[in-house]
Amino acid sequence: MTEVQEEPRADLKRKSNRAWLLVLPVVVSVAFTAVIPLMTVVNFSVQDVFSPSDRIFVGLEWFRSISRDPEVRSAFVRTLLFSAQVLLLEIPLGVAIAVCMPRRGVWVSVALVLVALPLLIPWNVVGTIWQIFARGDIGLGGWAINNVLGVNFNYTLDSTDAWVTVLLMDVWHWTPLVVLLAYAGLRSIPEPYFRAAQIDGASAWATFRHIQLPRLRGVLTIAILLRFMDSFMIYTEPFVVTGGGPGNATSFLSILLSKIAVGQFDLGPAGAFSLLYFLIVQILCYVFFTVLTRSGR
């Protein structure tokens, strides 16, 4: 088979510091929305806040207590496990569905709209719908599992069932994002590549493996990182469906964090917690990012 996918190499980029002008609007807008609030959080994290005017500097005390908290540690492991499962399920499924998606005719439009629908429901409503949908007595999903599959399923009592419910909800809710990205990525592959493959008599699998998949790398990097960071910070949906329970079965880091920040209004520990949280997500993303952008180069 002819090798057609020669990626534009990074070192062919022109060097020009005037490009900073093109980036400037982005830097300004993000600095306003991100940097200023972040400074406040840093400020909180090293103080004991009693009231806006009454606060003491405590140094790294909050960081120490948060990182030693066993509840935080088990929530961290749980969140990591959840994100790993989300990625393993959603990325292959999303790519497979994108490959199967119709490419011409009226059905393309219908398919795009239908696939996108779950993404457009506000997150709290997604949680609410699944709360009922997964119930064994009055919800279609739970009813089907209990009566058609014959499995005794109750997400409010059984911790495995609660986990499965949240995971299924996430797969339902977010696989469409991977599908849309992968589909758009597939559509931006120049046609001569396929013609070349067809003339060479490449099988469908070979075409996928040697043309589509390498070309999807950029888009899949986006999909993987986006799904990783969003699933690692998932809050609203599991909070509405299970409230973190039963027991602690579905209390992820974000649920624990908002318990401290909003529930107990401990701004100091909450600030330290979110900075640590932020740091963990960043380190993991950096690892992903480096691996994904370097592989195949």
Partner 1 sequence: MAALSRGAGRRLPWARTVFWLYVATLMLPVLWMFLMSIRPNEDILGSFSLIPQRVTFDNYATFFSDSSWYSSYLNSIVYTSMNAVMSLVVALPAAYAFSRFRFAGDKHLFFWLLTNRMAPPAVFLLPFFQIYQSVGLFDTHLGVAIAHMLFNVPLAVWILEGFMSGIPREIDETAAIDGYSLPRFFIRIFLPMIRSAIGVTLFFCFMFSWVELLIARTITSVNAKPIAATMTRTVSAAGVDWGLLATAGVLTIVPGAIVIWFVRNYIAKGFTMGRV
Q: Which residues within the stretch 161-220 sit at the binding site for partner 1 (CB under 8 A)?
A: 172, 176-177, 180-181, 183-192, 194-195, 197-198, 204, 207-208, 211-212, 215, 218-219
Q: Which residue has the tokens 């592989």?
A: 295
Q: Could you say whether residue 227 binds partner 1 (CB under 8 A)?
A: no
Q: Could you say whether residue 291 binds partner 1 (CB under 8 A)?
A: no
Cα 7 from chain centre: 27
Q: Could you say whether residue 243 binds partner 1 (CB under 8 A)?
A: no
Tokens (6 digits) for 109: 């439009």
Give the nearest distance from C-beta 160 to partner 1 in angstroms: 21
Total residues interacting with partner 1, rule: CB under 8 A: 115
Q: What sections of 18-158 are H helices per DSSP?
A: 19-30, 36-45, 61-68, 70-100, 106-116, 123-133, 140-147
Residue in 77, 115, 79 with CA at minimum distance from that of residue 94:
115
Nearer to partner 1, 35 or 88 (CB): 35
Q: Name residues whose C-beta falls within 8 Å of residue 274's C-beta, 6 or more positions apart in sequence.
A: 41, 45, 257, 261
Nearer to partner 1, 39 or 60 (CB): 39
List the interface residues with partner 1, window 101-120 (CB under 8 A). 101-104, 108-109, 111-120
Give the nearest distance from C-beta 181 to partner 1 in angstroms: 7
List the interface residues with partner 1, window 245-284 (CB under 8 A). 254, 257-258, 261-262, 267, 270-271, 273-274, 277-278, 281-282
Q: Could you say whether residue 84 binds partner 1 (CB under 8 A)?
A: no
